[in-house]
Amino acid sequence: MEEKDELQESATPCLHLVSAFLAREPPDFVISFARDCGGGSITESVQSFIWNQCINKSDVKCNGHYLKSFLKKLIVEVESNGDVVLDEIYEMYIYCLTSLKDDELTKGNARTLRRVSFLLPKDCSQASSCQITRKFEVTLQCSLSMLEGNTGCSIWPAGLFLSEFILSFPELFSDKSCLEVGSGVGLVGVCLAHVNAAKVVLTDGDLSTLANMKLNLERNHLHTDMLDHTPDTKMGKLVFSFNL
């Protein structure tokens, strides 16, 4: 039996592993980080870390579909290498199999909670060489995939890139008035508020997207004021705005 060395969440591979899991990245992607943490294999100490820092902190009701898929791939990965799977991981997978039905998880506008993490240099004059990071997290309710619900409730790559740019260069947005057209899940707005933009106006033309955005803003402790809704004659929709 191998000795279980406790992994440190602050270690870079562990940060990547936890961040990828909380963001509900594809299971194969998360498992690749798990291998990095274990030096090439998912050891018992890595499994314990995944259990304590990832699985045990997940809301099964909100993330059951993702959790079931991840656990299946994790178990297959460990067993295929001839290693021992922790009992609690088996038990959680059995719970997901027996308690969660696929049709209940995917019907209607199914949603999942994703926690997007940004790892940024901390008090370092040369960001490219700085190894010390700080983590900024944004919790968002999103569609299970682009095919579930509407596209406004999905996280788009452009939103991730823009958010990272905002957090990397806060001086460009601090004390500025900012307007985003088509704000979707509200990720960019949360990042603008984090860097102390003077005023943030978020817009969208879809009512269900706007309702989901409002929940996300409140989930990240931001107060919202509903602004006027303006007819858009070209698009045939109404444009709604939030003021943060």
* Phi and psi angles of residue 162, each rounded to the nearest 5 degrees, phi first: -65, -40
Angle (deg, nearest 10), helices 44-53 and 27-37:
130
CA gap 120, 114 in Å, rounded: 19
For the entire predicted model, the pTM comes to 0.69
Higher pLDDT, 111 or 55: 55
Taking only the tens place, the pLDDT of each residue in 113-166 is: 888 988 877 655 454 445 556 779 999 998 866 655 567 788 888 999 999 999
- CA proximity to 212, closest of 130, 90, 125, 109: 109
Q: Is the pLDDT of residue 35 over 80?
A: yes
- pLDDT for 98: 83
- pLDDT attached to residue 146: 60
| Contact partners, residue 23, CB within 8 Å, separation at least 6 | 114, 115, 116, 117
Q: Which of 85, 115, 134, 89 is nearest to 18 (CA)?
A: 115
| Distance between start and end Cα atoms, the chain | 55
| CA count, 13 A, side-chain hemisphere, 114 | 23
| Per-residue model confidence (pLDDT) at position 122 | 66
Candidate from 36-40, 167-171, 222-226 with smallest mean pLDDT? 222-226
Res 201 pLDDT > 70: yes
Q: What is the pLDDT of residues 50-93, one digit of tens each?
A: 999 999 877 777 678 888 899 999 999 999 999 999 999 999 99
Asked if the model's pLDDT at residue 2 lies above 60, the reply is: no
Closest Cα to residue 121, out of 111, 129, 110, 112? Answer: 129
The whole-number pLDDT of residue 114 equals 87
Residue 228 — pLDDT band, cuts 50, 70, 90?
low
Q: Has residue 101 got a pLDDT over 80?
A: no
The 3-class secondary structure across the chain, one letter per residue, is CCCCCCCCCCCHHHHHHHHHHHCCCCHHHHHHHHHHHCCCCCCHHHHHHHHHHCHHHCCHHHHHHHHHHHHHHHHHHHHHCCCCCCHHHHHHHHHHHHHCCHHHHHCCCCEEEEEEEEEEECCCCCHHHCCCEEEEEEEEEEECCCCCCCHHHCCCHHHHHHHHHHHHCHHHCCCCEEEECCCCCCHHHHHHHHCCCCEEEEEECCHHHHHHHHHHHHHCCCCCEECCCEEECCCCEEEEEEEC
Confidence band of 11 (pLDDT split at 50, 70, 90): confident
Q: For position 194, what pLDDT does the model report?
A: 93
Which residue has better confidence, 214 or 57? 214
